[in-house]
Amino acid sequence: MQRGKGMKFVTDSRIKVNGRMPNVPKDYSEYPGKTEAFWPNFLLKEWMVGAVFLIGYLILTIAHPSPLERQADPTDTTYIPLPDWYFLFMYQLLKYEFASGPWNVVGAIIMPGLAIGALMLVPFMDTTKERRPSKRPLPTAFMLLAFASIFYLTWESVVNHDWEAAAKQGAIVDEVDFDENSEGYQLYANGSCIGCHGDSFQGGLGDPLANNGMTVDEIKEIIVDGRGGMPGGTFEGSDEELEVLAEFIESLNE
Protein backbone atom coordinates (compact mmCIF):
# COMPACT_ATOMS: atom_id res chain seq x y z
CA MET A 1 0.00 0.00 0.00
CA GLN A 2 1.39 3.32 -1.06
CA ARG A 3 1.72 6.13 1.39
CA GLY A 4 -1.17 8.57 1.20
CA LYS A 5 -3.24 6.37 -1.07
CA GLY A 6 -6.96 6.85 -0.51
CA MET A 7 -6.45 10.03 1.50
CA LYS A 8 -7.94 13.19 0.00
CA PHE A 9 -7.82 16.79 1.10
CA VAL A 10 -10.98 18.90 0.67
CA THR A 11 -11.73 22.52 1.34
CA ASP A 12 -14.83 24.35 2.58
CA SER A 13 -16.13 26.80 0.02
CA ARG A 14 -17.42 29.04 2.83
CA ILE A 15 -13.86 29.75 4.01
CA LYS A 16 -11.96 32.34 2.01
CA VAL A 17 -8.42 31.64 1.10
CA ASN A 18 -7.22 34.97 2.46
CA GLY A 19 -8.84 34.20 5.82
CA ARG A 20 -11.55 36.86 5.54
CA MET A 21 -15.09 35.66 6.22
CA PRO A 22 -17.97 36.94 4.08
CA ASN A 23 -20.53 39.42 5.42
CA VAL A 24 -17.88 41.05 7.57
CA PRO A 25 -17.82 44.82 6.99
CA LYS A 26 -14.75 46.46 5.61
CA ASP A 27 -12.39 48.36 7.82
CA TYR A 28 -13.38 52.01 7.73
CA SER A 29 -10.85 53.12 10.31
CA GLU A 30 -9.02 55.14 7.67
CA TYR A 31 -12.13 57.37 7.48
CA PRO A 32 -12.76 58.15 11.16
CA GLY A 33 -16.06 59.83 11.92
CA LYS A 34 -17.09 60.07 8.27
CA THR A 35 -18.58 56.73 7.32
CA GLU A 36 -19.37 53.26 8.57
CA ALA A 37 -20.75 50.01 7.26
CA PHE A 38 -24.50 50.05 6.66
CA TRP A 39 -24.75 46.38 7.67
CA PRO A 40 -24.64 45.70 10.52
CA ASN A 41 -23.23 48.85 12.19
CA PHE A 42 -25.60 51.59 11.04
CA LEU A 43 -28.67 49.38 10.73
CA LEU A 44 -28.17 47.99 14.23
CA LYS A 45 -28.14 51.52 15.66
CA GLU A 46 -31.35 52.33 13.79
CA TRP A 47 -33.04 49.20 15.13
CA MET A 48 -31.97 49.99 18.69
CA VAL A 49 -33.33 53.55 18.51
CA GLY A 50 -36.55 52.28 16.91
CA ALA A 51 -36.97 49.66 19.65
CA VAL A 52 -36.61 52.32 22.36
CA PHE A 53 -39.31 54.50 20.77
CA LEU A 54 -41.58 51.50 20.16
CA ILE A 55 -41.34 50.40 23.80
CA GLY A 56 -41.97 54.00 24.88
CA TYR A 57 -45.13 54.20 22.76
CA LEU A 58 -46.37 50.87 24.09
CA ILE A 59 -45.87 52.03 27.69
CA LEU A 60 -47.66 55.29 26.89
CA THR A 61 -50.67 53.52 25.36
CA ILE A 62 -50.93 51.21 28.37
CA ALA A 63 -50.60 54.03 30.91
CA HIS A 64 -52.96 56.40 29.02
CA PRO A 65 -55.39 54.40 26.85
CA SER A 66 -57.38 56.16 24.19
CA PRO A 67 -60.64 57.63 25.52
CA LEU A 68 -63.76 55.92 24.25
CA GLU A 69 -67.03 57.65 23.53
CA ARG A 70 -70.55 56.37 23.19
CA GLN A 71 -71.62 54.30 20.22
CA ALA A 72 -71.82 56.28 16.99
CA ASP A 73 -75.33 57.37 16.09
CA PRO A 74 -75.76 58.51 12.47
CA THR A 75 -79.13 60.07 13.31
CA ASP A 76 -77.61 62.40 15.91
CA THR A 77 -77.07 65.66 14.04
CA THR A 78 -76.00 67.49 17.21
CA TYR A 79 -72.74 65.58 17.58
CA ILE A 80 -69.65 67.61 16.62
CA PRO A 81 -66.73 65.31 15.72
CA LEU A 82 -63.19 66.31 16.66
CA PRO A 83 -60.14 65.04 14.72
CA ASP A 84 -57.03 63.64 16.36
CA TRP A 85 -54.45 66.08 17.71
CA TYR A 86 -52.23 65.92 14.63
CA PHE A 87 -55.10 67.24 12.46
CA LEU A 88 -56.26 69.98 14.83
CA PHE A 89 -54.41 72.65 12.86
CA MET A 90 -56.41 71.77 9.72
CA TYR A 91 -59.59 71.66 11.81
CA GLN A 92 -58.86 75.18 13.06
CA LEU A 93 -57.96 76.46 9.60
CA LEU A 94 -61.39 75.48 8.24
CA LYS A 95 -63.06 77.65 10.91
CA TYR A 96 -61.82 80.91 9.37
CA GLU A 97 -63.98 82.78 6.87
CA PHE A 98 -61.34 82.76 4.13
CA ALA A 99 -61.13 78.95 4.29
CA SER A 100 -64.71 77.87 5.02
CA GLY A 101 -68.19 78.18 3.59
CA PRO A 102 -68.00 79.22 -0.09
CA TRP A 103 -64.20 79.38 0.30
CA ASN A 104 -63.94 75.84 1.64
CA VAL A 105 -61.94 74.73 -1.40
CA VAL A 106 -59.26 77.25 -0.41
CA GLY A 107 -58.75 75.78 3.07
CA ALA A 108 -59.26 72.14 2.11
CA ILE A 109 -57.37 71.90 -1.19
CA ILE A 110 -55.52 75.03 -2.34
CA MET A 111 -53.63 75.96 0.85
CA PRO A 112 -52.56 72.38 1.75
CA GLY A 113 -51.65 71.82 -1.91
CA LEU A 114 -49.40 74.88 -1.96
CA ALA A 115 -47.71 73.78 1.28
CA ILE A 116 -47.05 70.25 -0.02
CA GLY A 117 -45.89 71.61 -3.38
CA ALA A 118 -43.45 73.98 -1.69
CA LEU A 119 -42.10 71.12 0.40
CA MET A 120 -41.52 69.02 -2.72
CA LEU A 121 -39.73 71.87 -4.49
CA VAL A 122 -37.32 72.67 -1.64
CA PRO A 123 -34.68 70.08 -2.71
CA PHE A 124 -34.65 71.59 -6.21
CA MET A 125 -34.55 75.20 -5.04
CA ASP A 126 -31.75 74.59 -2.54
CA THR A 127 -28.91 72.43 -3.81
CA THR A 128 -26.18 73.53 -1.41
CA LYS A 129 -24.29 70.91 0.59
CA GLU A 130 -24.18 73.08 3.69
CA ARG A 131 -25.79 71.71 6.84
CA ARG A 132 -25.89 74.84 8.96
CA PRO A 133 -29.39 76.39 9.05
CA SER A 134 -27.87 79.85 8.64
CA LYS A 135 -26.27 78.75 5.38
CA ARG A 136 -29.59 77.41 4.05
CA PRO A 137 -32.03 80.30 4.39
CA LEU A 138 -34.75 78.93 2.10
CA PRO A 139 -35.31 75.53 3.75
CA THR A 140 -34.89 77.08 7.18
CA ALA A 141 -37.52 79.72 6.42
CA PHE A 142 -39.97 77.09 5.14
CA MET A 143 -39.37 74.93 8.22
CA LEU A 144 -39.87 77.82 10.66
CA LEU A 145 -42.99 79.03 8.83
CA ALA A 146 -44.53 75.55 8.80
CA PHE A 147 -43.71 74.95 12.46
CA ALA A 148 -45.09 78.33 13.55
CA SER A 149 -48.30 77.87 11.52
CA ILE A 150 -48.99 74.35 12.79
CA PHE A 151 -48.19 75.31 16.38
CA TYR A 152 -50.41 78.41 16.31
CA LEU A 153 -53.39 76.72 14.66
CA THR A 154 -53.19 73.71 16.98
CA TRP A 155 -52.99 76.00 20.01
CA GLU A 156 -56.00 78.03 18.85
CA SER A 157 -58.01 74.86 18.24
CA VAL A 158 -57.30 73.53 21.74
CA VAL A 159 -57.99 76.84 23.49
CA ASN A 160 -61.25 77.63 21.66
CA HIS A 161 -62.78 74.15 21.78
CA ASP A 162 -65.53 73.53 24.35
CA TRP A 163 -64.06 70.43 25.96
CA GLU A 164 -66.77 70.24 28.63
CA ALA A 165 -69.53 70.10 26.04
CA ALA A 166 -67.53 67.59 23.99
CA ALA A 167 -67.18 65.33 27.02
CA LYS A 168 -70.95 65.44 27.57
CA GLN A 169 -71.87 64.69 23.99
CA GLY A 170 -69.47 61.76 23.82
CA ALA A 171 -70.06 60.37 27.31
CA ILE A 172 -70.95 56.69 27.54
CA VAL A 173 -74.39 56.47 29.11
CA ASP A 174 -75.54 53.26 30.71
CA GLU A 175 -78.50 51.76 28.93
CA VAL A 176 -81.71 51.52 30.89
CA ASP A 177 -84.70 49.29 30.41
CA PHE A 178 -87.94 51.05 29.57
CA ASP A 179 -91.25 50.24 27.98
CA GLU A 180 -91.69 52.01 24.65
CA ASN A 181 -95.44 51.40 24.83
CA SER A 182 -95.84 53.07 28.22
CA GLU A 183 -97.75 56.33 28.50
CA GLY A 184 -94.70 58.10 29.89
CA TYR A 185 -92.52 57.21 26.91
CA GLN A 186 -95.26 58.19 24.47
CA LEU A 187 -95.45 61.63 26.09
CA TYR A 188 -91.64 61.83 25.93
CA ALA A 189 -91.44 60.74 22.28
CA ASN A 190 -94.34 62.82 20.97
CA GLY A 191 -93.24 65.99 22.73
CA SER A 192 -90.12 68.10 22.31
CA CYS A 193 -88.06 65.99 24.74
CA ILE A 194 -86.79 63.32 22.35
CA GLY A 195 -85.27 65.84 19.95
CA CYS A 196 -82.81 67.10 22.58
CA HIS A 197 -82.36 64.14 24.93
CA GLY A 198 -82.32 61.27 22.40
CA ASP A 199 -84.54 58.28 21.77
CA SER A 200 -82.68 56.29 24.43
CA PHE A 201 -82.13 59.20 26.84
CA GLN A 202 -78.46 59.37 25.79
CA GLY A 203 -78.49 63.13 25.44
CA GLY A 204 -77.61 65.43 22.57
CA LEU A 205 -78.49 69.07 22.69
CA GLY A 206 -79.78 68.31 26.17
CA ASP A 207 -78.25 66.35 29.03
CA PRO A 208 -78.61 62.56 29.32
CA LEU A 209 -81.66 61.58 31.35
CA ALA A 210 -80.69 58.05 32.34
CA ASN A 211 -79.59 57.81 35.97
CA ASN A 212 -80.07 61.54 36.45
CA GLY A 213 -80.59 61.19 40.21
CA MET A 214 -83.46 63.70 40.31
CA THR A 215 -86.79 63.34 42.07
CA VAL A 216 -90.21 63.71 40.48
CA ASP A 217 -90.68 67.23 41.85
CA GLU A 218 -87.26 68.33 40.58
CA ILE A 219 -88.02 66.97 37.13
CA LYS A 220 -91.38 68.73 37.02
CA GLU A 221 -89.78 71.99 38.08
CA ILE A 222 -87.17 71.80 35.33
CA ILE A 223 -89.81 70.94 32.71
CA VAL A 224 -91.94 73.91 33.69
CA ASP A 225 -89.31 76.54 34.54
CA GLY A 226 -86.33 75.31 32.50
CA ARG A 227 -82.70 75.14 33.53
CA GLY A 228 -79.44 76.08 31.84
CA GLY A 229 -79.86 75.79 28.08
CA MET A 230 -83.29 74.17 28.42
CA PRO A 231 -86.14 76.69 28.10
CA GLY A 232 -89.24 76.42 30.24
CA GLY A 233 -92.80 76.04 29.07
CA THR A 234 -92.03 73.58 26.27
CA PHE A 235 -94.37 70.90 27.61
CA GLU A 236 -97.91 71.46 26.37
CA GLY A 237 -99.69 68.63 28.17
CA SER A 238 -101.94 68.69 31.21
CA ASP A 239 -100.80 68.53 34.83
CA GLU A 240 -101.69 64.84 34.93
CA GLU A 241 -99.56 64.15 31.85
CA LEU A 242 -96.72 66.20 33.36
CA GLU A 243 -96.87 63.99 36.45
CA VAL A 244 -96.79 60.83 34.33
CA LEU A 245 -93.83 62.12 32.31
CA ALA A 246 -91.89 63.13 35.42
CA GLU A 247 -92.50 59.76 37.07
CA PHE A 248 -91.37 57.98 33.90
CA ILE A 249 -88.11 59.96 33.74
CA GLU A 250 -87.56 59.37 37.47
CA SER A 251 -87.98 55.62 36.86
CA LEU A 252 -84.87 55.69 34.66
CA ASN A 253 -82.75 55.92 37.80
CA GLU A 254 -81.28 52.57 38.70
Q: What is the CATH number of domain 183-250?
A: 1.10.760.10
Average pLDDT over residues 169-186: 72
- Centre a 10 Å sphere on the Cβ of residue 144 and count the other Cβ atoms it contains: 11
Compute CA distances 105 → 1, 87, 146, whole Å: 97, 17, 20
Phi, psi of 69, rounded to the nearest 5 degrees: -115, 180
Please report which residue ranges of 161-215 form alpha helices under DSSP H: 163-170, 183-190, 193-197
Vertex 189 angle, CA 196 and 194, to 5°:
5
- Amino acid present at 144: L
Q: Is the model's pLDDT at 203 over the cut of 80?
A: no
Residues in contact with 198: Cβ distance below 8 Å, sequence separation at least 6, in sequence order: 73, 76, 204, 208
SS3 3: coil
Band of pLDDT at residue 197, cut at 50, 70 and 90: confident
Averaged pLDDT of the chain? 78
**pLDDT score of 194:** 73
Band of pLDDT at residue 153, cut at 50, 70 and 90: very high
How far from chain centre, in Å, is Cα 16?
Answer: 56
pLDDT tens track for 65-86? 877 877 777 766 677 788 888 8
Average pLDDT over residues 131-139: 83
